[in-house]
Amino acid sequence: MSSLYLSHFGLQKTPFQITPDLDFFFSGGRRGDMLTALLHVAAQEEGIITVVAEVGSGKTLLARLMISRLPAHVCAVYLANPSFSRDEILGAIARDLGLSELPTSTEARLSALQHELLRRHAAGQRVLLVIDEAHAMPAESLEEVRLLSNLETGQHKLVNIMLFGQPELDDLLAERRLRQVRDRVVHRFKLAPLCAQDAGAYVDHRLRAAGWKGGALFSAPAMALLIKASGGRARRLNVLADAQFMKMIADTP
């Protein structure tokens, strides 16, 4: 169906796939401003940063695009699956930093990580830990991540931490047992759903990025229904627009 889909509309790529694709990043709805802010704090600030958005709002795409645009002196460790246990998460971070042989105890692993982070700091490199879907992390694992924020030289933290998650992340951090993690949050960003005007611009942007060169494909009433049904969430807009495209193909004589 994909080849029929593309040839029917004269496209080079599928415009409404739900898999994050950096070529389709939409800078409207303040997303471009947020990307700029995240790149700034990734290279300059020290501490924990949270990015909160409803499911399907584009936070994973935002995280991956930010990582792709980091300056050369910033090394990113990206954890897409945060459901590591307390004993596993430090090992996962260490392996991403190239440490293959790790001790078994938490204290020894933390010491090995500190040694590697100090080595990178001495070489002029900053380390950024990015955890996606952080709302799903066990509280004990978040506490282990908090220990990383304690690693520092006399003047600088050795690792910056960004937590991307759904609104449940705020609820998790509000728990009393995680107050030390919460106290280390220096910036909180919220990715809001797209308003009606931005949602319409988003659909058009994805069509143009896929190679569409014609006029509006959706009628005003159809677009209004898409926007209302999606609630301004990017993934839902993609699903609904893709279904409408399939219907348009099926209805073609």
Predicted pLDDT at 101? 80
Predicted pLDDT at 1? 45
Task: For residue range 182-203, list pLDDT tens digits in order.
Answer: 999 999 999 999 999 999 999 9
Confidence of residue 53 (pLDDT cuts 50, 70, 90): very high
Residues contacting 134, CB < 8 A, separation 6+ = 50, 82, 142, 163, 164, 165, 169
For residues 132 and 191, is the Cβ–Cβ distance under 8 A?
A: no
Helix (H) or strand (E) holding 131: strand 126-131
Task: Measure the N-to-C terminal CA separation of the chain; round to a whole number of Å.
Answer: 17
Residues contacting 112, CB < 8 A, separation 6+ = 94, 99, 102, 103
Task: For residue range 124-166, list pLDDT tens digits in order.
Answer: 999 999 999 999 999 999 988 888 888 888 778 889 999 999 9
Confidence of residue 68 (pLDDT cuts 50, 70, 90): very high
